[in-house]
Structure 1
Amino acid sequence: MQIISASRRTDIPAFYGEWFMNRIREGYFIFKNPYNAKQMSKVSLRPEDVTAIVFWTKNPAPFMKYLDELQDRGYRFYFQYTLNGYGKEMEPFLPSVEKRIKTFKKLSEKIGKEKVIWRYDLVIFSNVHSSDYHREKFSYILNELKDFTTRVVISFVDEYRKATINFKKLKEEGIEIYQPPDVIVKSLAYFMAKKASDTGLEIQSCAENIAYLPEAGIVPGRCIDADYIERIFKLNLPKKLHLKDKSQRQECGCVVSKDVGIYDTCLHGCKYCYAGSYEAGKKNYEKHDPTSPILIGKYEGDKEERTLF
């Protein structure tokens, strides 16, 4: 048994739902090591081999039509749904925040509010996005979603290599990302924690080591969370499924999972993206075949293939 992540590296529900369901029906996918393209392995997606599926998305609307089939086939799943509403200047190809709020509510009503986790992620400070901006936006979305989820996850921007390249492009467009004084971040964190608490939502941080977050009431989170899976699906998982994923950052609390995605394949074009560029995503999408066992390109087998069934 293992947990499937779909996916940290790309938005499977938004762009690759047909492919994913074909993999579900055939019972496996081919995993390509993101750091060694020649290293591939065959991973089971049979219901008896999958503890749960964690979907990561900013727009699950195209995937909604498959949810009944997933449930009928016996799969357990929940969604990490990012909804921060930056607008076209930062998220040029996403539906409006109002449309995504409606989708969030529809998804929650269909599968249960405990299975749709709201991510206000990333918290970015710029000459356009001040602390007051985040207070207003967070409050607005929280008020809309408070009856449709049980948990909100926040994280503050880090300067990953790919994101730093995107930040330089943003600066050329007149949006300058900056790190505000610690007192500003702390004040915003306390504000978010208080607002969440007042509406009965649990609030967690994602891969943060900021010392004052716990004292504000924001506990370190696990987006792929064995304890949470046990709770919402009434399971008793073996100890090995509770182990921290050592391939993730030290600050990340997620447990071990197998990710189905590939970097540089998302088409949302978010200007702050950690996982690749829109241009690379378009090029790779042209190679996508919904009938292939691998997300991008054809698969003809590999001498290094390792079967994990």
Structure 2
Amino acid sequence: MIISASRRTDIPAFFGDWFINRIKEGFTMYRNPMRPTQVFAVSLLPEDVDAIVFWTKNPKNFLNKLRYLDGYTYYFLFTVTPYGKDIEPGIPSKDEVIQTFIELSNIIGKKRVIWRYDPIIVNDKMPLSSHKEKFEELCEKLSPYTQKCIISYVEFYSKLADKLNKINAKGLSAEELYNVFSEISKIGKKYNLSVETCAQKLPVEELGLKKAQCVDGDLINELKREKGFGNDIKYKKDKNQRKECGCVQSVDIGMFNTCRHFCIYCYANHGKDSIIKNAQKYDVNSPLLCSCLDIEKDEIRIKGKESSWKLDKEAVQGGKLNSTESYGQLWFDDSNENLSEKLDSWLEKKVLEYIKNYTTSCYHK
């Protein structure tokens, strides 16, 4: 199982302590964003995790926590753009971000730090000529510390349209996009960077570009081989992502409306009010990020490799959690997995133990 941490928020920047507590505890829980009352528990034990993919714009405060990940295969997708506070109000100075990029690469190696120049936004303040200039400046500074740069053009999602219109972001034709990608690709090659495009509909192969797999099964297998971690795995395409997305399947443990970078182009935040509300529920020791378990309302499921199964809520509320022998009574058998595998599941027992001792809630009943 591949853990994505996270497309939905910047865990290394804001929730590093929480994440390491989850590593120490061996499991985490997350809400289904399409059905928020459905909560999944997933193991974070090294033997259950194929890899962890971190998505971040500022992992500075996470660098001293990397020692806890020695038993894992992992890499970082690190976004560095040329934008100012008008577009990325919560990002530190570019000099500080670049220094953090360099420090991270020096610690874990440049193969495991992938630069994202993403999203590309063209407007009056940042025309294509400025992108070419700024991209080359960043290449000069970052290319010794990474092997790959992933690029994409900004998506005009309906909920972002007003914000992007305020900065006069331009929607480009296919020909104009080709021009953007072509110019950036030429600069990347000059610095021996592999430039790949993320979830773009254009046939960019004609420009000599690859289509990216941000959650990259081939890279994960390569990194696992280097650590001596078993045989290669043929990972499936992630059907929950956009058609053009090349990522393989992963489990995202983040939560929307929790990132405090407040980037104007972000699809994962709806507004500051939602972020402030969720921040009030942040508990560094909770299995759930910025959320509290509601035993009465939440459907709790154990996430297996290929399926999941549901906790019998009435059994939990009835207090039938006293012995290992009772575990078999606590699950609706609504999957094809063998019951004996459930009974032996360390994760099931851990979740049941947590629920048994769970005495506080954000929800006052």
Q: Same fold (TM over 0.5)?
A: yes
Does residue 219 of the first structure (1) align with residue 203 of the second (2)? no
**Aligned partner of residue 140 in structure 2, secondary structure:** helix
Greater shift in the superposed pair: 3-12 or 36-45: 36-45
Q: Which amino acid aligns with 1:138?
A: F
Does residue 204 of the first structure (1) align with residue 196 of the second (2)? yes
**Aligned partner of residue 222 in structure 2, secondary structure:** helix
Shift of 1:305: 1.4
| Contact residue 60 and residue 100 of structure 2 kept, 8 A | yes
Aligned 1:44-59 pairs, distance under 5 A: 44-59=43-58
Shift of 1:278: 4.7
Aligned 1:29-178 pairs, distance under 5 A: 29-71=28-70, 74-168=71-165, 171=166, 175-178=167-170
**Aligned partner of residue 85 in structure 1, secondary structure:** coil
Q: In 2, Cα distance between the equivalents of 1:135 and 1:109?
A: 27
Aligned 1:207-286 pairs, distance under 5 A: 207-211=199-203, 213-234=204-225, 236-239=231-234, 242-279=235-272, 280-286=274-280
Q: Which residue of 1 aligns with 2:180?
A: 188
- 1:61-113, Cα deviation, whole Å (9 max, x unpaired): 01111001221xx0111000000120111111110111111100000000000
Q: In 2, Cα distance between the equivalents of 1:92 and 1:221?
A: 27
- 1:140-177, Cα deviation, whole Å (9 max, x unpaired): 10110111000000000111133224324xx1xxx211
Q: Which amino acid aligns with 1:288?
A: Y
Q: Which runs of 5+ in 1 are unaligned?
A: none
Shift of 1:128: 1.4
**Aligned partner of residue 39 in structure 1, secondary structure:** strand
Greater shift in the superposed pair: 276-285 or 137-146: 276-285
- 1:18-62, Cα deviation, whole Å (9 max, x unpaired): 111111110111121001111111100011100110000000101
Percent identity over paired residues: 42
Q: In 2, Cα distance between the equivalents of 1:268 and 1:44?
A: 28
Q: Which runs of 5+ in 2 are unaligned?
A: 304-346, 348-365
| Contact residue 4 and residue 53 of structure 2 kept, 8 A | yes
- 1:112-151, Cα deviation, whole Å (9 max, x unpaired): 0000000000001112121011101111101101110000
**Aligned partner of residue 40 in structure 2, secondary structure:** strand
Greater shift in the superposed pair: 175-184 or 145-154: 175-184
| Contact residue 11 and residue 58 of structure 1 kept, 8 A | yes
Taking CA–CA contacts closer than 8 Å with sequence separation of 6 or more, which of the two structures ends up with the larger relative contact order?
1
TM-score of the pair, normalised by structure 1: 0.93
Q: Which residue of 2 aligns with 1:293?
A: 287
Q: Which amino acid aligns with 2:207?
A: A
Shift of 1:283: 2.4
Q: In 2, Cα distance between the equivalents of 1:290 and 1:165?
A: 35
Q: Which residue of 2 aligns with 1:17?
A: 16
**Aligned CA distance change for structure 1 residues 33 and 303 (closer, same or farther; 3 Å):** closer
Shift of 1:255: 0.4
- 1:172-192, Cα deviation, whole Å (9 max, x unpaired): xxx211113443322221111
Q: In 1, Cα distance between the equivalents of 2:155 and 2:294?
A: 38
Shift of 1:303: 6.1
Q: In 1, Cα distance between the equivalents of 2:83 and 2:73?
A: 31
* Structural RMSD (CA): 1.5
Q: In 1, Cα distance between the equivalents of 2:39 and 2:208?
A: 42
**Aligned partner of residue 159 in structure 2, secondary structure:** helix
**Aligned partner of residue 146 in structure 1, secondary structure:** helix
- 1:209-261, Cα deviation, whole Å (9 max, x unpaired): 112x211121111000110111233153333xx10010111000100000010
TM-score of the pair, normalised by structure 2: 0.79
Q: Which amino acid aligns with 1:237?
A: D
Count the aligned residue pairs. Answer: 298
| Contact residue 221 and residue 233 of structure 2 kept, 8 A | no
Greater shift in the superposed pair: 195-204 or 93-102: 195-204
**Aligned partner of residue 78 in structure 2, secondary structure:** strand
Bigger radius of gyration among the two: 2
